[in-house]
Amino acid sequence: MWTINSEGVLESDLLKQLPWLFHGFGTRLSAEWPGGYTQLKQIHSDIVFTADHRSGCIGEGDALITATPGQVVGIRTADCVPVLLVDPETRVVAAVHAGWRGTAAEIALRTVDRMNKEYGCEQDRMLAAIGPSIGECCFAVGPEVAAHFRPYFPDANNLTHINLPEANFRQLVGAGLDARFIERSDLCTVCDASRFHSFRRDKHLAGRMVAAIAIQG
């Protein structure tokens, strides 16, 4: 289940179970949220940064991990898939920007792997929330892009539309996460113009939405 709070921010009910966790997926209604946060110059890559105790824009890449209480890490989207990750045991969190190139490069899997190697996070206890993004209904692709996703959808005879949230879900499960601990919004940013920015729909006029996460206190 998902709810929109008083700031216009979409929240995952799964992640809300952790009282020490700050998180959310921004919408058109939350332009000033979350205030200052650690971010990256996003380049549609598989590059993951450890962000502990660092502020502002700390480099070029597409995922941020922190174990520092009070540090907000975030990514910006306008159709790409935002993924928030947390290990409740070690209290390590991550924000992932997964466009089609990043998804094909397995950015979510690489983030989980880095959390495991650097912080001892166990994949089978991690929680994940996959926020609003372009849906399969609106993501028509040519054969060059489709070829990158055949490993995720081997039973598809004619892969003309890609389900990016599902590809990331399968990637996370493949990385060792329990499917019961992954929550998807299944909201399409292109279809819902009243709540979400969309580059595919609005081109250069599109704004951006922030997905952010932090350990409180």
The tokens describing 66, both together, are 């922190």
**CA-wise closest residue to 29 among 178, 143, 192:** 192
Q: What is the pLDDT of residue 210?
A: 98
Q: 190: number of CA atoms within 13 Å, CB side?
A: 14
**CA-wise closest residue to 214 among 102, 72, 96, 95:** 72
Residue type, 1: M
By the 8 A CB rule, do 64 and 57 touch?
no
Q: What is the pLDDT of residue 1?
A: 79
Query: For strand 2-4 and strand 10-12, is the pairing parallel, antiparallel, or unpaired?
Result: antiparallel
Q: Which residues have a Cβ under 8 Å from the Cβ of 133 and sit 6 or more positions away?
A: 77, 79, 80, 81, 82, 164, 165, 188, 189
Q: What is the pLDDT of residue 69?
A: 97
Q: What are the domain boundaries of the chain? A: 2-133+172-215
Q: What is the pLDDT of residue 82?
A: 98
Residue type, 39: Q
By the 8 A CB rule, do 93 and 214 touch?
yes
What is the C-alpha to C-alpha distance for residues 108 and 83, in angstroms, rounded to an integer?
8
Burial letters 18-34, b for 16+ CB under 10 A, else e: beebbbbbbbbbbeebb
The CATH code belonging to domain 2-133+172-215 is 3.60.140.10
Q: What is the pLDDT of residue 40?
A: 98
Q: What is the pLDDT of residue 5?
A: 95
Could you list the pLDDT tens digit for every one of the 217 residues in the chain? 799 999 999 999 999 999 999 999 999 999 899 999 999 999 999 999 999 999 999 999 999 999 999 999 999 999 999 999 999 999 999 999 999 999 999 999 999 999 999 999 999 999 999 999 999 999 999 999 999 999 999 988 889 999 999 999 999 999 999 999 999 999 999 999 999 999 999 999 999 999 999 999 7
DSSP string, the chain: -EEE-TTS-EEETTGGG-TTEEEEE--TT-TTTT-S-BEEE--SSS-EEE-TT--SEEEE-SEEEE--TT--EEEEESSSEEEEEEETTTTEEEEEEE-HHHHHTTHHHHHHHHHHHHH---GGG-EEEE--B--TTT-B--HHHHGGGTTT-TT-SS--B--HHHHHHHHHHHTT--GGGEEE---BTTT-TTT---HHHHGGG---EEEEEEE--
